[in-house]
A = this chain, B = another copy of it.
Amino acid sequence: MPRTKGDHEARRRDVSEAVWRVLAAHGFGGLTLRAVAAELGATTGLLTHYFPAKRDLVAYALDLLDRRSASRPRRAGGEGLSAVRAAMLDVLPLTAEATDSNRIWVSSWDTALTDPALSDDYARKYAQSRDKLRDLIAAAQQLGELPAGDPARIAAGAQSFLLGLVVQALFAPEAFPPHRQTELLDDYLASLGSPSSSSSPSSSVG
């Protein structure tokens, strides 16, 4: 029973939703042609028409993850340290959608870490993310809201904190409810508002 209208765009949107639901339910390792087809109420024949090979589906899913994450409603940033805080809050799994996004994101690491090409892609993406954070931090420094110090270095630390908090919150949502995550983030930002960091090459590395 083919659809009577050749609405290509609408169909692609349906495919996106089906892929997303499969990813949210079974992770990246459970992304299968038949699972997506079933979620779509269709067969594998439809999917092979849209994606010549499985890797194309995977690539599409990764791109979908990017777009869904990027198009999530951002909160008003303000400027300086407030913008840094807003940008970091936007990443955390504080809502159901953000939780899905992050869960899928983390689950994709298994695939990414064993594929050198994907791994490089991710490295670039995170570097870009750090650069964005670095600029916000540099701006906050010029406003005097953060002490001096290499902004790139501070950004690397901040993203580490952010990433790890995401992972912990995903595994223990009841131990890391939105309020707790915000609390911890504010603790971290407060700890940045002091001197004593960077410079002075300490040795004794194992």
* Residues of A bordering B, CB below 8 Å: 25-30, 75, 89, 94-95, 103, 106-114, 119, 122-123, 126-127, 153-154, 156-157, 159-168, 170-172, 175-176, 178-179, 182-184, 186-188, 190-194, 196-198, 201-202, 205-206
B186 touches A94 (CB 8 A): no
Instruction: Compute how far the CA of A192 lies from the CA of B114 in the bound complex, rounded to whole angstroms.
Output: 35
- Minimum distance in angstroms from A62 CB to a CB of chain B: 14
Q: Which of B113, B122, B159, B183 contacts A27 (CB 8 A)?
A: B113
B178 touches A205 (CB 8 A): yes
Query: How many copies of this chain are found per oligomer?
Result: 2
Nearest B residue to A98 via CB reads B206
**Additional 9 contacts, C-beta under 8 A, given A27-B113, A29-B110, A109-B110:** A107-B114, A113-B170, A126-B172, A157-B184, A161-B188, A163-B168, A164-B165, A183-B201, A183-B202
Q: How far is the CA of A53 from the CA of B24 in the complex (A)?
A: 27
Known A-B contacts A109-B167, A164-B162, A193-B196; A206 and B123 likewise in contact (beta carbons under 8 Å): no
Which residues of B are found within 8 Å of A157, using beta-carbon distances?
161, 184, 187-188
